[in-house]
Amino acid sequence: MASIVLVNPPLSLEERYGDLSEAGNTLPSIGICTLAAVLRQAGHKVRIIEAASWGYDHGDALREIVEVSPDYVGITTLTLSVFSAAKLAEMIEEADKRIRVIIGGAHVTAVPRETMAMFPQFDAGVLGEGEDTVVELVGAYENGADLKGVKGIVYREGEEVVVTGMRPFIRDLDRVPFPAFDLLPDFPRGYRPPAFRFKRLPAASIVTSRGCPYKCIFCDRSVFGSVCRGHSVDYVMEMIKDLVNRYGIREFLIEDDTFVTFKSRLIALCERILRENLKISWSSLGRVNSVDRDMLKLMKRAGCWQISYGIESGNQKVLDFVNKKTTLEVVERAVRWTREAGILSKGFFILGHPTDTRETIEETIRFARKLDLHDVSVNMLTPLPGSQIYEVANQYGELDNDWRKMNLLNVVFVPYGLTREELEGYYGRFLKEFYLRPRIITSYLKRIASNPRYSGRYLRGLGAFVRTAF
């Protein structure tokens, strides 16, 4: 039996959300909790350090690691946090050379050789879905086996960086245990969802499926791939009921990329929630071309109160270029149907697409105002490693490839014909023109009034939006 510490590395709310830090999310990493469950199931002793959620700095995280004195430390990382992970790994190496540091997550999956070459403090990296791979990797280390036989990793052999290839994705997700939320101190009350993405507390995020078949050029699909796989309705219901019964969870944030795409499963899940009289509320992500009126009405009855749609742009040619595979008419229809069903809709938009111009961004702002949306989230196009646009970004504009800036809010890509200052100006203008309207202000005031016990949290989030807009 090995001792393993899994870490979500230090990354402040300001680094993640900029001026929107007050509205930010401190819910724990589902990936880490799932890996912890798998490793514990395999007989290992596991501890979780949610440094990003707990507000830990590197010294805080290191002290806990040294106190445990584990055999292995696994660090999950996105592109934004890879330098933070590397700093922690270097500190671990200085404190105890015996500890092996393993990295995982989207960034190392997208650029394994580059990551290992840049950061020699990582002993190995887990590529793609980590559940089977990390168990096998730890077993190989423990038994002194050749790492070349472990599929889905990157490691060093002398001066050479070795990639063993991708492991096939897990087909039967139901064999994966529930995330080990019990290893999190003060769960769920010590963690907060994003402002205005919850109606009731305590809340938890869950993932009920993996993979996305769509190929939007700005999206990194490196970890879960393009093949859609879902947990069974029985599994999802048991997971929800476990969280309700053990932790008193009242609200669920369903984080699947394609939750509404599994129509028959979604319908069966909603019917089970109604049949078993589960008094929960929940929100999900959705694609505008995957919903219909009857489905939305059923989702509402089963407790759904908000759907977030990836709309991205208000110009059809821009949507076609980024391969959204939808039309502005379909967007309008989906948002209208959602409102008619009594569900709030949120739109995700991106500024600075490769073919964006001043005119197309103006169209996008007008389109967002025209739609029956209740909220928007506005990001800057960020060519992340692993995305299609990352490979060709320099053909369409200027890319600042500093991974530490890639939080989706900083301007790291400027299309030819635009300037950084213009994009920043459009960002603030988008928020002002969307939110500072009687309909939206009234909607927010009603939401605050209907949940007075959470008014402080709502108002802090609203204040962050206002400060960002101005």
CATH number, domain containing residue 24: 3.40.50.280
Choose the final residue of a domain: 142, 163, 184: 163
Q: How many domains does the chain have?
A: 2
Instruction: Provide the domain limits for residue 410.
Output: 193-469
Residues 274 and 388 in one domain: yes
Residues 222 and 370 in one domain: yes
Domain-located, residue 171: no
Residues 142 and 220 in one domain: no
Q: Could you give the CA distance from residue 454 to residue 303 in angstroms, rounded to a whole number? A: 19
Domain-located, residue 197: yes
Residues 17 and 140 in one domain: yes
Residues 97 and 201 in one domain: no
Residues 15 and 143 in one domain: yes
Which pLDDT score, from 0 to 100, does residue 366 have? 98
Backbone angles phi, psi at 46, to 5 degrees: -125, 140
The ranges of the chain with pLDDT < 70 are 19-23, 221-223, 452-470
Helix 30-41 to helix 131-143 angle (10° resolution) is: 50
Q: Could you give the CA distance from residue 73 to residue 84 in angstroms, rounded to a whole number? A: 14
Domain-located, residue 417: yes
Residues 273 and 312 in one domain: yes
Choose the final residue of a domain: 163, 182, 216: 163
Domain-located, residue 185: no
Which pLDDT score, from 0 to 100, does residue 21 have? 62
Nearest to 53 by CA among 79, 74, 25: 25
Which pLDDT score, from 0 to 100, does residue 464 have? 59
Which pLDDT score, from 0 to 100, does residue 258 have? 86
Residues 416 and 321 in one domain: yes
Residues 143 and 42 in one domain: yes
Domain-located, residue 277: yes
pTM of the shown model: 0.94
Choose the final residue of a domain: 144, 163, 182: 163
Domain-located, residue 65: yes
Q: Which residue has the tokens 């589960």?
A: 278
- For residue range 208-220, what is the model confidence (pLDDT) as tens digits? 999 988 889 999 8
CATH number at residue 342: 3.80.30.20
Q: DSSP string spanning 196-254? A: TS-SSSSEEEE--EE------TT---TTT-SS-EE--HHHHHHHHHHHHHHH---EEEE
Q: Which residue has the tokens 């016990």?
A: 453
Residues 148 and 207 in one domain: no
Spatial contact of 154 and 125, defined as CB atoms under 8 Å apart:
yes
List, in order, residues 6 or more apart from 109 with CB less than 8 Å away: 125, 127, 128, 222, 223, 386
Residues 116 and 205 in one domain: no
Spatial contact of 193 and 29, defined as CB atoms under 8 Å apart:
no
Residues 419 and 357 in one domain: yes
Domain-located, residue 176: no
Domain-located, residue 79: yes
Letter for the amino acid at 128? G
Q: What is the DSSP letter of 437?
A: S
